[in-house]
Amino acid sequence: MNDSLTAIYLSNILPAFVYPIGSTIVMLVLATALLTLRYCRSALVATLTALIWLWVTSIPFVAERLAGGLEKQYPPIELSRSPSAEVAIVLGGAIAEPAAPRVELELTYDSSKLLHAARLYRLGKVRKLLLIGGNLPWNAYPVAEAELMRQLLIEWGIPQDAIRVAGQSRNTFENAIEAAQLRDTIKFKSALLVTSAMHMPRAMAVFQHAGIPVTASSVEITAINHPPSIMDWVPSATALSMTTAAMKEMIGLLVYRLRGRL
């Protein structure tokens, strides 16, 4: 069963208070309340806790270990060594729609999955591409993301008849449901699942639980091997974003497991 509109909103709003920025704000609001009530020592402890938490979650040393722990579960494979399959299932989150003030489609960091899918097709690793991804309720753009992905792949020279689009799903669970429904018409017995390496553990678990025969084809590695450096301990917006993304996947795995979706 697909998630209700309320569930979609809650699943995106509630975790925001656990992610580093949201939880830091919550702790600082608590500190302000304690200070107002003249619990000065408790307010100081809450403030220091908030600052330490923000520092810890925004340093590369922590971010790369959290992200790397997820990404190492399904590491990328060189295209020449990639297994073959009948289709490549490409998950959404890869395109910036041409909404004002944009005047055309734009690539995002996650667009690597589209390039990867196009390369798989050109190398003969797959015969068809199945693009899955609709728009979230607060995205008013009228065209589903999967359709925008299709337009870009055609622009890159992928034949129209090699692409199938599924543009109703709004999260990973619904992606798997939509793929399972399309399997009745496409009749594929093997598939490469194309998504980010960080998202792959949850995506693989959900698709396998739905009975879809998928093999991981990971892209978009964020935790890169490099020599230790003092910069590993210097806070950065990039590291904070990486930590947040890793926490999102960990929370998603926990919630899906509790809801019996894995």
Please state, in angstroms and rounded to a whole number, the distance separating the CA atoms of residues 86 and 215. 11
Lowest mean pLDDT among 22-31, 82-91, 135-144: 135-144
* SS3 of 75-142: CCCCHHHCCCCCEEEEECCCEECCCCCCCCCEECHHHHHHHHHHHHHHCCCCCEEEEECCCCCCCCCC
108: confidence class by pLDDT, cuts 50, 70, 90: confident
Q: Where are the alpha helices (DSSP H) in the chain?
A: 5-13, 20-36, 40-57, 60-71, 112-122, 145-155, 172-186, 200-209, 237-258
Cα Rg of the chain, angstroms: 21
- Domains along the chain with CATH numbers: 5-71+235-258 (no CATH), 79-219 (3.40.50.620)
pLDDT > 70: percent of the chain: 100
54-85 tens-digit pLDDT: 999 999 999 999 999 999 999 999 999 999 99
| pLDDT score at 72 | 97
**In this predicted structure, what is the pLDDT of residue 186?**
84
pLDDT at 1 over 80: no
Nearest by Cα to 98 from 113, 109, 112, 108: 108
Cis amide prior to 75 (ω within 30 degrees): no
Name, in order, each residue with C-beta under 8 angstroms of 224's C-beta and a sequence gap of 6 or more: 64
Among 135, 130, 146, 147, CA closest to 183: 130
More confident residue, 162 or 137: 162
- Count how many Cα atoms sit within 13 Å of the Cα of residue 198 in the half-sphere of its side chain: 24
- Six token digits for residue 109: 């960091």
Cα dihedral 92, 95, 98, 104 in deg (nearest 10): -140
Each residue of 158-192: pLDDT tens digit?
Answer: 999 999 999 999 999 999 999 999 888 888 999 99
* Region 143-148 average pLDDT: 93
Residues contacting 169, CB < 8 A, separation 6+? 2, 92, 132, 133, 134, 175, 177, 178
State pTM to two decimals.
Answer: 0.92
- Chain-centre distance for alpha carbon 210: 19
**pLDDT tens-digit series, residues 199-257:** 999 999 999 999 999 999 999 999 999 999 999 999 999 999 999 999 999 999 999 99
Which pLDDT score is estimated for 199?
A: 97
**Distance separating alpha carbons of residues 64 and 239, to the nearest angstrom:** 8
